[in-house]
Structures are given as structure tokens and as C-alpha cells.
Amino acid sequence: MQKGTINVQTENIFPIIKKFLYSDTEIFVRELVSNAVDASQKLLTLSSVGEVKGEIGDLKVQVILDTDAGTLTIRDNGIGMTEEDVNKYINEVAFSGAEEFLEKYKNKDPKSIIGHFGLGFYSSFMVSDKVQIQTKSFKKGSQAVQWESNGNPEYEITNIDKKERGTDIILFIAEDSKEYLEEARINQVLTKYCKFLPVDVEFGTKKESIDHPKGEKDEEGNVKKESIDVPNIINNTSPAWIKKPVDLKDEDYKSFYNELYPFTEDPLFQIHLNVDYPFNLTGILYFPRLKNQVEVQKNKIQLYSNQVFITDSVENIVPEFLTLLHGVIDSPDIPLNVSRSYLQSDSNVRKISNHITKKVADKLSNMFKNDRADFENKWDDIQVFIQYGMLSDEKFNEKAKDFLLLKSTDDKYFTFEEYKEKIKANQIDKNDRTVILYTHDTDEHHSLINSAKDKGYDVVVLDGPLSSHYIQKAEQDFAVSFARLDADTLDNIISKDEEIPSKLSKDEEEKIKPIFENISEKEKFTIQVESLSETEKPVLITQSEFMRRMKEQQALGGGGMQMMGNLPEMYNLVINANHSFISKILGAKKSEKEKLAKQAFDLALLSQGMLKGKDLSEFVARSYELI
């Protein structure tokens, strides 16, 4: 028997481990099972080079719960350890960097500490009063030993009888960690961290139906079924991302997606990552159906290191806009034991981030070039993602300019250059810039769209939640102007060589203004008399393109708009001087002027979806009266 003190220079490391890591105690399962998998894979490697003779059998890791004894055991039949190995790897190496650990990480996020500086095995003391290691090396003639410690630097090693090669880690669960004696809790943690480990991980049993061993048949002549207990395998040892793309079909990708995200709608398509130089990176990223929503769910991409789950918080590893994607990234080259600020400046992380951005852009570009019709069919689902990427990542923006599409109200799609060419002769503003007319809602702007088409103009649909942000960038990138159909009268938006003369005298224009001022909210509407086409409506409601964009951006919380406070709702009430109804108002009896003006005003509000409640009821009643 050997007794000793673990090589640690602080008085008692265990309470410190528990204090720093208590908020994430479940991580001990990941560490111990990962160690067991490593032991199994090391044996496999030694066998492949001839250092282990004979059959090594089926390698597996077993997680065993004994509620009566109050223990949780992680068992492997891997490489095992001699007493010398135990001294080297448990008593010395584990805490050779203890003081550095304490100094460097005492104020850091504890979640990334375990598994580094040799602390993997010692995470077991976060939940245990006592830990035993029972191990026997694969080396011929090895003596099995047991290492034991009750949570302080003192340990005891004794010889034991153990026939099978491998290691058992036996945790005597502490009173304040009884949750780890519950089958459901262990199953939950194993599923989270060990779902794709490369060696079978068994936990408990499950029922499986098999043919009757004696072939007995039922009355209909079918072989009877019998239910038996079989080991419950937690993990898929060969997930899709470690396979070669040529070996996978679309069904395989969809099946894996459903494994990651059960009961969700199938993704649009995926990108398979596979790099081995100058860094190691594998993974599959899926494009979900975003349904025109910016749902930045930063827990949808899972990060693994050699098939061991690390985190689902990857915002410092992939660009912000890529967090809209779902899937898996696996890289042993991403440092996990450092602060987030260090992650952002780490050269490997930057290279990986840039590579993923390039792969995503290349995938979209190839889709557009190889099957434009299919790309157009997917546009409504991916436009939010592409706009987000162009707004937030300049490298992606440069590549995306070639496959960015504009959708017309006729459901036709154009690249920016194609669309500029289409409208350049007819849609020019006073500054000789090409004007792109757009609507955010084809139903709400139905009459405005028809009016624009009647004048020979084309209209595109920009109904995404990021449109107000994106439009400003597009104006800079493509040297165009955007104007929503309700931003102003079309004749003011589009430059005309000839101005339409007004049918009203200056005196009549001054007389019509106060009539409309009396029926509208002065603080909300600015009255304007304009000389428009006779076919244009008598009264129009418009809103400054600039102010509306500001309000939309404020609603999204972008561009520091919150600093400006709540912007007021301001509109223009435009009176068409050339419409016969305006002349009718001027020629009506004094008692009728405001009633007719109110009717025209309400119609303008109604066309914008702005007439509601009491005002709408009064409008309906007045309409019947006028009829």
C-alpha cells in the first residue's frame, strides 16, 4: 500500500475547484466519459501498430448508477493504468499547473476551465465526497491498483484483484449533488455532451423486440415477438459530419438534422465543412427556413472538439450573421480554456471564421449560377440571412452582390445590375440617380402599386425585417435611391421634364389648406397642395422616407437610434390641386366643405390602413349619408 500527498502547492485545491466550477457541475460527466473514450482509442491505436497483441474485443464505455450505494461509475475497457501511470497522470501532472490556474482563472468564466491544465479527472470532486480509481493496464502481467481520495490532497494506492483490462472511476456522490443519482439527470447530461462520441457509451438498458428464440408462431402463423433488455447506447458513433460528402445523400443530411433538432421543419439546404490545413475543421451548417424573421438563436450551432460537445455559444467563433444557421462545427484547433476576448483575437479562430464565411458565400454563389430557378424559389426564405450578412460582414457583402436579388411585384427576380438596366430609362430622380420604387406590403399598397404601373413604373417587394437597414447600404453599394410608394407622390419621386400646371389659383390653394387643417391633427399632418395628374387621387397620405426609415431602425434597435428617443409619427397630407373633387369642395356650401374634405381625407387614411375605431365607424356612416 502507498500513501502520499498529491503534488499541489496550495493548501487544499478541492474546495477551490468546487467554488469556481460549482455553477457547471454537470461538466464532470463530459470529462470522465471523454477520458474513458480516450483510453479506448489509445488502445485501438496501439493495437493497430502491433503494440497490443491479440484481440482487443468490443471497446465501450459504461456509465453505471447504483442508488443504493450512492455511487456513479464510469467504466472503460481501454488502455488502463499501472501504479506508475497513476502516480504520473493522477498525482503529479494533474496539479503541476495548479498555481498558474488559480492566478489566471480566479476571475474568469469557469465554464471553460475544466478539461485544461489536467483538471479533467478532478472535476469528479465537484460532486463527490470520495473518488476511487480501479484500474488494470493492458500490459502483460500488470498488477491492478486502486487509487482513493476523499477530496483533499491525501490519497491511498492499494493493490486489488481486477481481471479485466481498463479503468473504473467510482464517484461516491456528495449530499448536495444527489441529482446525479437520478437516472433521468444522468441520461440528460450524457445526451447533451456525449451524443456523438466515437466509442459506444452505455447507460442502463432498454426494451427491444426480437423474434421468439424457438420460432413459436401465433394463430395467424407469424413468428411471435419477445421483449428483452438490451444495453442502452446513448450515442451515434459515426455522425454525418465526420463522413465524406460523397458518401452522403440529401436524405442522410436531413436525417442528421432531425437527430440534432427533433420535430422541426426540414432545412432548405446545407454546407459540409471539411478542412485539414492550415487548421482542422469539420461540420455541417444548415440553412433553416427563417420565414422572414431575424431569429438570432445563438444556441443552434453546436461546437464539438473531436466529437465531444463543448458549447452551443459560438458567437465568438463564427460571424454574427452565421448564428442564424443551425448545425455542427467540430475543431480541435479552437482554444477553449481562454477568455472570450482572447477568442476574438486568436489567429486560428479568425481563420476558421473567415473560412466558414467564404464557404457559405461560395455555396450561395454556386447555387445561383448552377440553378437560378431553384435559388429564386428559395429567395423568400434566405433573403433575411443574406441581407444580415451584407450588413454585418464586408467580405460576405462583396461576394453577395452578385447573387443578391430584387423581387418585383410581378414575382420576377433580378440581380441589382439587371434591375438597374431594366428601369434606368424611366425611373430617374432629380439628381439623375436611378430610383427603385418598393413596397413593404403588396396588399396595403395595392392601389399605389397599380397607380405606379399605370404610369409605366416598376415596383419591387422589400418586406424583410432588415429592409430599412439594408436599403441604406444598398444605396451606397449600387449608387441608387430607394423610395417606398407612400414616401411621396410619384411625380415628386421621379423626375419629369414638364411640370403639370395647377388648375387652382394661388388664392384657391390658400383657401383649401385651412379646410383640411380643421379636420386633421396639426401635430401629425403637414398640409401640402401639389399639382398632380388629374387621374391621381384627390388626397394622398405620404411619409418622409428618411423619417420612416429612422423609426423602423429605432424599432429594431439599430444604429444607436435609441439615443434619439421616440421619434414622432409625422405624415404629409397632399392635396391634388388638379382633381375635380378638390374643386367640388371649394365650390360647396360652407356647411358641406368640411364633410366632403373629411371624406376625401378618410379615404386616403383608409388606403394606408390608418383609419380605425371611431373614425372608421363615422366614415362608414358618412359614406351612406353621401350616397
- pLDDT score at 14: 59
Nearest CA to 273 out of 310, 236, 248 is that of 248
Tens digit of each residue's pLDDT (9 = 90 or more) over 318-356: 888 888 899 999 988 776 554 455 555 667 778 888 899
- pLDDT score at 345: 63
Check residue 553 and report its DSSP letter: H
Q: Give the whole-angstrom CA distance, residue 519 versus residue 594.
A: 7
Count of C-beta atoms within a 10 Å radius of residue 344: 13
Average the pLDDT over each of 368-382, 405-419, 518-532 and give the range with the smallest value. 518-532
Give yes or no for a contact between 466 and 290, defined as CB atoms under 8 angstroms apart: no
- pLDDT score at 83: 94
Highest average pLDDT, of 72-81, 309-318, 421-430, comes from: 72-81
pLDDT of 111 over the 70 cut: no
Band of pLDDT at residue 22, cut at 50, 70 and 90: very low
Give yes or no for a contact between 357 and 342, defined as CB atoms under 8 angstroms apart: no
Count of C-beta atoms within a 10 Å radius of residue 394: 9
**More confident call, 149 vs 546:** 149
Q: Tell me whether domains 240-370 and 404-493 share a fold.
A: no
- pLDDT score at 20: 54
- pLDDT score at 342: 54
pLDDT of 273 over the 90 cut: yes
Mean pLDDT computed over every residue of the chain? 84
pLDDT of 50 over the 60 cut: yes
Residue spans of alpha helices (H) in 426-579: 446-454, 467-478, 490-493, 506-519, 545-556
Place of cell 434597435: 557
| CATH code 3.30.565.10 for 2-204 | yes
Tens digit of each residue's pLDDT (9 = 90 or more) over 588-609: 888 888 889 999 999 988 887 7
Give yes or no for a contact between 469 and 554, defined as CB atoms under 8 angstroms apart: no
pLDDT of 501 over the 90 cut: no
Tens digit of each residue's pLDDT (9 = 90 or more) over 360-381: 999 999 999 999 999 999 998 8
Q: 404-493 is classed in which CATH architecture?
A: 3-Layer(aba) Sandwich (3.40)
Every domain of the chain and the residues it spans: 2-204, 240-370, 404-493, 506-542+569-626
- pLDDT score at 188: 95
- pLDDT score at 60: 95
Tens digit of each residue's pLDDT (9 = 90 or more) over 152-163: 778 899 999 999
Mention the CATH class of domain 240-370: alpha beta
Three-state DSSP state, 152: coil
Tens digit of each residue's pLDDT (9 = 90 or more) over 117-156: 456 788 888 899 999 999 999 999 999 999 999 877 788 9
Taken as a whole, the chain contains a residue count of 627
**More confident call, 224 vs 232:** 232
Count of C-beta atoms within a 10 Å radius of residue 496: 11
Q: Cell numbers for 606, please give them.
A: 383608409
Which superfamily, per CATH, for 506-542+569-626?
A: Heat shock protein 90, C-terminal domain (1.20.120.790)
Tens digit of each residue's pLDDT (9 = 90 or more) over 169-223: 999 999 999 999 999 999 999 999 999 999 999 999 988 877 777 777 777 777 7
Share of the chain above pLDDT 90, in %: 40
